[in-house]
Chain A
Amino acid sequence: DVKVTQSSRYLVKRTGEKVFLECVQDMDHENMFWYRQDPGLGLRLIYFSYDVKMKEKGDIPEGYSVSREKKERFSLILESASTNQTSMYLCASVNRGPSNGELFFGEGSRLTVL
């Protein structure tokens, strides 16, 4: 089974702190994603990556950056956390092919910024 592991399930940070959220997948997937999930807003795409060192902005990249130095690892960085970044963050990966393409999700990281 595909496994997507997020490093922290729960984090509490203070405004202005730098926050790293890490995600590792074990199925050699090419594409990885970071979403945030907020009540009533569904999942919103922050960044995605289709190859090592490649990244693309999603719909809400402001205040975030990402790093993909190795194929299996995709990190989300909040340079200076703010209270409006309190949310559930979900990492996902996929190897999109002609007969598949569903994302595999990690368990999520719930971030609270005080």
Chain B
Amino acid sequence: ELKVEQNPLFLSMQEGKNYTIYCNYSTTSDRLYWYRQDPGKSLESLFVLLSNGAVKQEGRLMASLDTKARLSTLHITAAVHDLSATYFCAVEGTSGTYKYIFGTGTRLKVLA
């Protein structure tokens, strides 16, 4: 059974600091997705990582995927208040099953 773990679950950081959110998963998968959720809102897609070694960057966020280690990271550079949100990673199960399993989420609060 595919399990997806994120850590930390909560993260409070100062503006301008760097930090990394980790996403581990338990079975083989070569597709991983990152989403952002603002309070009271639904999820929006941030990154789609489709192969081992994939790296995507958007503004102050950078995501990477290591399929051998079954690990993805979401790195935040010089955090700003607008990045405060909950971040989820999701992994697709065995290719072709279309079963997407989500982590528990990381609630990020950036303090001014």
Contacts and interface: CB of A to CB of B under 8 A. Distances in A.
A79 B101 CA distance: 25
A92 B100 CA distance: 11
A107 B41 CA distance: 6
Nearest to B5: A42
Interface residues of A, number: 28
A53 to B, nearest CB: 16
B31 interface: yes
A84 interface: no
A48 B98 CA distance: 8
Contact of B101 (A45, A96, A101): A45
Contacts of B105: 42-43
A25 to B, nearest CB: 13
Interface stretch (A13-21, A33-41, A64-72): A33-41
Contacts of B42: 90, 105-108
Given A42-B102, A108-B42, A103 B90 contact: yes
Interface of B: 1, 6, 9, 31, 33, 35, 41-45, 48, 50, 88, 90, 92, 97-105
Interface of A: 31, 33, 35, 40-45, 48, 50, 56, 58-59, 90, 92, 94, 96, 99-108
